[in-house]
Structure 1
């Protein structure tokens, strides 16, 4: 997964902070630098150490890759009162059987294209999928869906944004299981991202 790839960088930053004579300014710089890698412009407005934790307040500007209309919609959503803005997104349990099936088939597809030359070894794959918080019901559906070839175009056609939003983080985690993203996986992740718009 991506977290395993960047851990050495994180450890380096931690050692830098531990040995710095200017820990506050170094941490502020580190936070803004790491967010800038994601195209996010952020300013640290407050930083305190309390109860064995570091509390950080940020002011964040529109990310480089964010469409202006999407950014404005985010701001509008945040300005609404808390009752309307706290509506939760669709959860796996709330999905219809058809949506659950599509999610299972999407995740099976990204597994299939991750190594298209080799058959999937479920005994090796199963614990990896469990590690990214896929429940047993979803895993059973994925295992079943792996038995037949899947078509990205058919899976993406008519997919609703909520389902794409649920699928994308799982798909990213699955794509990074082997610490690389091939062109087929990239196409799938891009299609899911675009379906969220």
Structure 2
């Protein structure tokens, strides 16, 4: 399922980049997001357009699958110092209605991720912060988690561009526990289909 999601998601995100008023900030966030799907924590430290290419410099954190001892040895071997990381922009502007729908969609993915367990915000909040959600989005998700979200209602009138923004974030949330259950898979598939309507 994820392989079917990634290619069209990348194509749509590239189209959104071409139409974005904040192309640099959006591309910085998108690159970090793409690497995040692989379990790699990355920050863009330099981004520039040269000739027919985009030059990108990254600061990369320890991949989740990497043993801490191995990672320390890699750092020691590279003799690499700490790099200054510029602040990352907020990316695309969403209307209040779009932001509301986005946070409710993300809350739904969280709710169906482990439907038989109560959601602990204290445990969830740090994980969402690591995924790069801003404070407004985090508070919106927290509020939306207080009531059960309905997928059919959320998908009603969903704009393709909003689906394209929601999909990678929903994938990141679904993969927090390293597995995608049928309910999460259904939500991701519907977001993908909605995104393709553009």
Change beyond 3 A, Cα 1:177–1:120:
same
C-alpha displacement of 1:119: 0.9
Conserved 8 A contact 2:131-2:172: yes
Q: SS at 2:101's partner residue?
A: helix
**In structure 1, C-alpha distance between the alignment counterparts of 2:194 and 2:137, rounded to whole Å:** 21
**In structure 2, C-alpha distance between the alignment counterparts of 1:109 and 1:148, rounded to whole Å:** 10
Give the match for residue 143 of structure 1: 142
Give the match for residue 166 of structure 1: 165
Conserved 8 A contact 1:106-1:155: yes
Give the match for residue 87 of structure 1: 19
Change beyond 3 A, Cα 1:181–1:38:
closer
| Residue pairs, 1:47-58, within 5 angstroms | none
Conserved 8 A contact 2:20-2:92: no
Give the match for residue 108 of structure 1: 107
C-alpha displacement of 1:94: 1.7
**In structure 2, C-alpha distance between the alignment counterparts of 1:89 and 1:183, rounded to whole Å:** 36
**In structure 2, C-alpha distance between the alignment counterparts of 1:129 and 1:101, rounded to whole Å:** 17
C-alpha displacement of 1:38: 4.9
Structure 1's unaligned 5+ residue stretches are 1-36, 40-62, 78-84
C-alpha displacement of 1:87: 2.0
Change beyond 3 A, Cα 1:95–1:111:
same
Conserved 8 A contact 2:103-2:144: yes
The aligned length equals 122
**In structure 2, C-alpha distance between the alignment counterparts of 1:154 and 1:128, rounded to whole Å:** 27
Conserved 8 A contact 2:102-2:166: yes
**In structure 2, C-alpha distance between the alignment counterparts of 1:193 and 1:174, rounded to whole Å:** 15
Q: SS at 1:150's partner residue?
A: coil
Higher RCO by CA contacts (8 Å cutoff, separation 6 or greater) = 2
**In structure 2, C-alpha distance between the alignment counterparts of 1:100 and 1:92, rounded to whole Å:** 13
Structure 2's unaligned 5+ residue stretches are 23-89
